[in-house]
Amino acid sequence: MRISTAQMFNQTTTNVMKSQSATSKIMEQLATGKKVNTAGDDPVAAIGIDNLKQQGAVVDQFLKNIDYASNRLAVSESKIGNAENVVSSMREQMLRSVNGTLSDSDRQTIADDMRGSLEELLSIANSKDESGNSLFAGFKTNSEPFAFDNNGKVVYSGDSGVRDSVVASGVTVGSNIAGDSVFMNAANSTGDYSVNYSASQQGKFTVESAVISDPNDPTKPSAGNYTFDFVDNGAGGLDVNVTDTVTGTVTNIPNFDVTNPVTVDGIELQLKGTPVAGDTFELTPEQNSNMFDTLNSAIALLEDGSKLNTPQGQAEMAQLLNNVSSGQEQMASSRSVAGNSLKSLENYTSTHKEEQLVNQSALSLLEDLDYAEAITEFEKQQMSLNAVSSVFSKVGSMSLFDYI
């Protein structure tokens, strides 16, 4: 077979180009440290690499969400802990104030100290994160959630919203604790009603509980107040007249026994102590109490001269102390929610870290370059390219005239 000069040149040029291309590819691999830089290098491996990178991006986003939620929850949990310490200190002051040996000026000093603590508690409730967003405002992060109104009561202008963070596929964790669930919605210590004691009270007694026996009963109590009047029954005991302020209906309960609960109009009432004839009190529907109003009422009671030495004042303080305890339980419960969420986020972080490690290992097997193997292959290609180039240069320079 005759080989033309043009055919020889074309074949040799093609071989040189292939060697140069292979050498360039290996040089690119050595520069990037990756053996698959384009889908053309290994189509099957490229698909696997793309899938692993997508999974890695999703896991990275989950970890970012977890970091955000963890930071907010950690700060919220810490702030609630600070609030618990403030409230605990104020409760100790309330207990101290019950001491009958204290003068009015002593109680005023306690009240002044408690008012400063109340301001501190309000400041904690209005805490913000590093971005200036309110921690305890629910969805209304741009507003200050707690403030005193014109009547001196603290009102909540936030909402009950919980901002969920996606921390795993199909899994969300709340990244905040709404302020109403921390400071505002504690259970009323007496149940479904609060008690208004009369200034004329002479007997030493308190209402321990006032609950609706059956909330589903269609004949349950009206939405109004109930007044309880103790009267002498003429036989050495007491009767109780209960007036429904909405309907005006009066129910008489004869032979009152403080050791047994009183049931009237669907309300079960338990008293403690010893009322006397002429004593009276009023029940007002109220299922929840809030920490700010409770502490504010305690301060007002301390500032009201010697009222705390009267049966009325002592009964009111007992109710306020019980409501503070209920509020402390509510705050502890909210702090537990934050703590449990943080623990859950830690578990998801560990899971995602392990997933990242597995993905990175698989990704490394698919795309990372074996430098020793690549360098060996590079040297082989260099030798091949040099050999082809040398032969081509010698053959290309030969001429028939050299042999004539």
Does position 115 have pLDDT exceeding 50, yes or no? yes
Does position 8 have pLDDT exceeding 70, yes or no? no
CA distances from 358 to 56, 60, 100 (A): 10, 14, 70
Contact 309, 100 (CB under 8 A): yes
Contact 239, 293 (CB under 8 A): no
- Of the two residues 404 and 329, the one the predictor is more confident about is 329
Distance CA 308, CA 321 (A): 13
Give the pLDDT confidence score for residue 266 in this predicted structure: 87
Distance CA 20, CA 74 (A): 59
Give the pLDDT confidence score for residue 371 in this predicted structure: 54
- Of the two residues 370 and 159, the one the predictor is more confident about is 159
Interior angle at CA 138, CA 136 and CA 142, nearest 5:
80
CA distances from 202 to 211, 224, 315 (A): 25, 26, 11
Give the pLDDT confidence score for residue 1 in this predicted structure: 47
Give the pLDDT confidence score for residue 10 in this predicted structure: 59
CA distances from 79 to 129, 251, 320 (A): 11, 49, 24
Distance CA 361, CA 348 (A): 20
188-203 pLDDT, tens digit per residue, is 999 999 999 999 999 9
Contact 137, 280 (CB under 8 A): no
Lowest mean pLDDT among 140-149, 225-234, 388-397: 388-397
What percent of the chain stands above pLDDT 70?
A: 76
Give the pLDDT confidence score for residue 219 in this predicted structure: 62
Distance CA 172, CA 163 (A): 9
DSSP E strand boundaries for 245-311: 250-253, 262-264, 267-274, 280-285, 288-289
Contact 70, 345 (CB under 8 A): yes
